[in-house]
């Protein structure tokens, strides 16, 4: 009974959660300028590779999963610079190195990390990923309210994040702008067991610490909290802004207290849910299993406490 009640309560919490206020715009409707206000999204980081068969198998479904979450999650993929992957962007290597600040090894492919939490390896771990998302949403009590403006011209995408006010500054943290490309083509000559393109590929970033030097990879810093990225060949893209601890600060923190303080996404991307498209069979099964797992874990924890008493 306890596990069942817990599962029901968690489902109710999920349904009552406010939307993350992320914006998703069809490419045909993009008029060159947009603003998004939010911060409540959950960051899901995927470690993947173009040569990985399991990654290629799940990649199309992940777009549907992200869209079905109502943009409550912001998902980004990191590709390795291993000489085999078709992309290997330097920005992704920087984020992978950041993961090691918590004394963790480079994850296998595919792997998923929710809000800087536990590494979940392989497609079979998706029930754990879903439960991590549910847990992150139910535990989130406060978040940084982020206001992000994106505008494009013929050559560049420019992103501006409203700077924090004096009473909103948190020491040892930074605003990070992640530039993400969708439908990024896989060049011929590379081992590719999947489709001709990949989604959610991190291609550039900019970091704006509250105290310290600004930093960018494959992007340009135009001013404090303003960065740009070239988009001549990029038709669909996302911008994810994260208020998070600096890499140096992570070295003195644990998984339990290193979660992002705010996350918001603005996407110019065609819907993954075409008319008549059925949801992946994996999705409802995984959600059901995740809720059940959370309920059982809670029940087992209570029984353990009783035994100790």
Could you tell me which of 40, 31, 102 has the C-alpha nearest to residue 241?
Answer: 40
What pLDDT is attached to residue 208?
A: 98
Q: Cα–Cα distances in Å, from 65 out to 201, 218, 262?
A: 16, 29, 21
Could you tell me which of 261, 35, 229 has the C-alpha nearest to residue 147?
Answer: 35
What pLDDT is attached to residue 21?
A: 52
What pLDDT is attached to residue 274?
A: 60
What pLDDT is attached to residue 50?
A: 97
What pLDDT is attached to residue 238?
A: 96
Query: In the chain, what are the helix, strand and coil shares in percent, each to the nearest 5?
Result: 35, 30, 35
The set of residues, in sequence order, having a beta carbon less than 8 Å from that of 24 and lying 6+ positions away, is 67, 71, 267, 269, 271
What are the average pLDDT values for consecutive 10-residue runs of the chain, which has 309 residues?
A: 44 45 85 95 96 92 79 92 96 92 81 93 92 90 93 97 87 96 95 95 97 96 98 93 94 85 95 59 46 46 45
Q: What is the CATH number of domain 20-269?
A: 3.40.30.10
The residue length of the chain stands at 309
What pLDDT is attached to residue 223?
A: 97
What pLDDT is attached to residue 10?
A: 45
Euclidean distance between CA atoms 122 and 110, whole angstroms: 5
Q: What is the DSSP string of 87-135?
A: ---HHHHHHHHHHGGGS-PPP-SSEEEETT--EEESGGGHHHHHHHHHH
What pLDDT is attached to residue 252?
A: 86
Could you tell me which of 91, 98, 240 has the C-alpha nearest to residue 178?
Answer: 240
């Amino acid at each position: 009974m306890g596990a069942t009640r817990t599962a029901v309560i968690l489902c109710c919490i999920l349904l009552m959660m406010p939307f993350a206020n992320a914006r998703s715009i069809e490419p045909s409707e993009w008029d060159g300028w947009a603003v998004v206000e939010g911060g409540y999204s959950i960051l899901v980081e995927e470690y993947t590779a173009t040569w990985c068969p399991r990654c290629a198998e799940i990649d199309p479904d992940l777009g549907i999963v992200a869209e079905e979450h109502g943009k409550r999650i912001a998902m980004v993929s990191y590709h390795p610079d291993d000489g085999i992957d078709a992309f290997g962007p330097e920005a992704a290597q920087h984020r992978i190195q950041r993961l090691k600040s918590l004394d963790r090894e480079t994850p296998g492919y595919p792997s998923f990390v929710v809000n800087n939490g536990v590494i979940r390896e392989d497609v079979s771990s998706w029930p754990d990923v879903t439960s991590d998302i549910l847990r992150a949403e139910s535990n989130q009590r406060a978040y940084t309210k982020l206001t992000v403006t994106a505008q494009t011209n013929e050559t560049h995408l420019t992103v501006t994040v409203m700077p924090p006010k004096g009473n909103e500054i948190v020491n040892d943290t930074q605003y990070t702008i992640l530039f993400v490309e969708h439908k990024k083509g896989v060049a011929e000559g590379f081992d590719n067991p999947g489709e001709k393109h990949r989604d959610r590929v991190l291609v550039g970033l900019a970091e704006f610490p509250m105290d310290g030097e600004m930093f960018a990879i494959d992007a340009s810093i135009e001013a404090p909290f303003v960065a740009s990225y070239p988009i001549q060949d990029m038709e669909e893209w996302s911008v994810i802004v994260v208020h998070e601890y600096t890499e140096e600060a992570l070295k003195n923190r644990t998984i339990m207290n290193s979660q992002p303080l705010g996350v918001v996404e603005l996407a110019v991307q065609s819907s993954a849910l075409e008319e008549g498209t059925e949801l992946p069979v994996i999705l409802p099964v995984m959600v059901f299993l995740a809720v059940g797992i959370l309920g059982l874990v809670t029940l087992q924890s209570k029984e353990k406490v009783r035994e100790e008493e």
